[in-house]
Structure 1
Amino acid sequence: MLIPLTREKFDQLIPLIGTGPQYKYYWGNFSKLLQRLLISVVAAAVVLLLRFVLGLNFGPLVFVLGLVSAFYWLWGPVFQASVRNNKCRRYKYCGFFRGRVMDIWITEELVGKQETVNGKGELVIVENREKRINLEVGDETGFTAEYQAPLQVAYKAVTRGQIAEMLVLSNRADLSRIEEITDIYIPNRNIWISDYPYLQRDFFIEVGKRLRDDDDDEYDRPRRRRRPQEDTRRNTRRRNDDWSTEEDY
């Protein structure tokens, strides 16, 4: 099912300012922290250059710029999360989607490259690859969408036929054309499948509870497994019912 939500709920589900989990996402590893520290040092040095070397004095403005620049390493993740949130908030309409997991498969994606030198002094390019879970979700109307996220051990509990909930975004009031989808929630396992935590999760779960009605009993009935010949749309998908192995984790 797909139920339109008000703009008020939209703004509550995807906040203007980055949340704690979003801040943690953009905080990153030690390398990311060093990058932000370097930016802070360079920015603060530029402010000092304008003030003491070039003799430009703008009073309190220089102090504020220097303070903001020096602490970029701390507030940078909030800024990055807020920018990403606002890209979704530019859509005019949103809807609550509840369907089922139709298919699951695992891929390895190239996430970056590093240049290094081997023992012979030769330049070597090392590819960094990451295992990702891919989900196809859909409902009885024929609507389907695909979502990809970094693989986690907890995702092993996700199987075909389980209920899947998410927020869909559109610029059309009738939601006839979906432009973007958010992280996916599997309620019967309390699992979030997410690359970036767009949603205020507690509020999203509460919205889902309020939208349930008597027709939801249909979603609790087991769904017929698709026959093997029905899984021929994508050669990279697993062909058996056990879509994952221990090696995947």
Structure 2
Amino acid sequence: MLIPITREKFEQLVPSIATGSQYAAVWGTVRDVLRRLLISFVGVIVLFVLDILFGGVAQGFKFILGIVFGFYWLWSPVYWASIKNASYRKWRYSGFWRGRVLDTFITEDIIDEAESFNRLGDLVIVENRERRINVEIGDKEGFRTIIKAPLQRIHKAIARGQPVECLVMSNDPDLESIREVSDVYIPSQDLWVGAYPCLRRDFFLAMREDLRDRYGKKSSRTTTSSPSSQKKRPSRRPSPSRRSSEESRKSDRDYAELRRRRQREDRRRERATSRKDEDY
């Protein structure tokens, strides 16, 4: 299922300024933090040397640069996350897409390479690999793509056939050629999968509920069925026809018992009468 959305809604879902979750995603590892700290330290040292060589020149400008370089390690994730958001916002058209999980598999991808020297002085390239979950998704129209994310324990809950929802982007007004896909949401597990959380997830969940109400689609996140779809429990009370048949059978049994009693009484009277005749 593919439902186009307006540009205004798309800009709400993919903000221009990084959100808290996007900031955390771009923060990186300890190595990344140390790298940013080194850049900040080198920048402050360079400004200090320039201040000694050219003291009294453009003090206000150097003060601003000092703040920029001194806090580079802190504000740079906001900048890089905003750059990522801009790479999504460049697409002119977008839509809400719903499909299913076709397959899942695990790979080891190279995320970084570093050059080093061994004991013999030879140049060695060290590859930093990361295990990632690959989720292949698609629909009946033939669209297929793979979403990658760092492998986590919660990914064990992903299985084939589960419904998935996401945002797709393109420069075609009819969204015939999909160029970009956001991180995906699996409603049955309440799970998000993706390398970067480009969506405002609270807005996305509100939008999917609105689309469900508008198009009459039952949300796959909820499992409560409607009263009409629930199976009716069989009533323990017998139906009127059953009660009438049981009552008729009971009356027949009572009538047969009464008839047998009368026959026994008649036989007793006959035996008593025959005994009196013998006595006479």
TM range (shorter): 0.7 to 0.9
State the alpha-carbon separation in 2 of the partners of residues 19 and 48 from structure 1.
34
Moved more, 111-120 or 127-136: 111-120
Who is 1:141 aligned against? 141
2:175 matches 1:175: yes
Per the alignment, do residues 124 and 47 of structure 1 end up closer, same or farther by CA in structure 2, a change over 3 Å counting? Answer: closer
Aligned residues: 220
Who is 1:43 aligned against? 43
Shift of 1:83: 0.9
State the alpha-carbon separation in 1 of the partners of residues 101 and 152 from structure 2.
17
Per the alignment, do residues 143 and 52 of structure 1 end up closer, same or farther by CA in structure 2, a change over 3 Å counting? Answer: same
2:157 matches 1:157: yes
Unpaired stretches in structure 1, ≥5 consecutive residues: 221-249
Partner secondary structure for residue 140 of structure 2: coil
Q: Which has the larger radius of gyration?
A: 2
2:73 matches 1:73: yes
State the alpha-carbon separation in 2 of the partners of residues 121 and 62 from structure 1.
42
Unpaired stretches in structure 2, ≥5 consecutive residues: 223-280
State the alpha-carbon separation in 1 of the partners of residues 103 and 137 from structure 2.
7
2:195 matches 1:195: yes
State the alpha-carbon separation in 2 of the partners of residues 39 and 194 from structure 1.
29
Letter in 1 for 2:216: D
Shift of 1:55: 4.4
State the alpha-carbon separation in 2 of the partners of residues 47 and 172 from structure 1.
49
Give TM-score, length-normalised by structure 1: 0.80
Structural RMSD (CA): 2.4
Who is 1:3 aligned against? 3
Who is 2:30 aligned against? 30
Structure with higher helix content: 2
State the alpha-carbon separation in 2 of the partners of residues 218 and 193 from structure 1.
17
Shift of 1:209: 1.3
Give TM-score, length-normalised by structure 2: 0.71
Q: Within 5 A, what are the aligned runs for 1:82-93?
A: 82-93=82-93
Moved more, 38-47 or 90-99: 38-47
Who is 1:20 aligned against? 20
The one-character-per-residue Cα deviations of 1:175-225 (angstroms, maximum 9, x if unpaired) are: 1111110101101100001111111111111111111143448999xxxxx
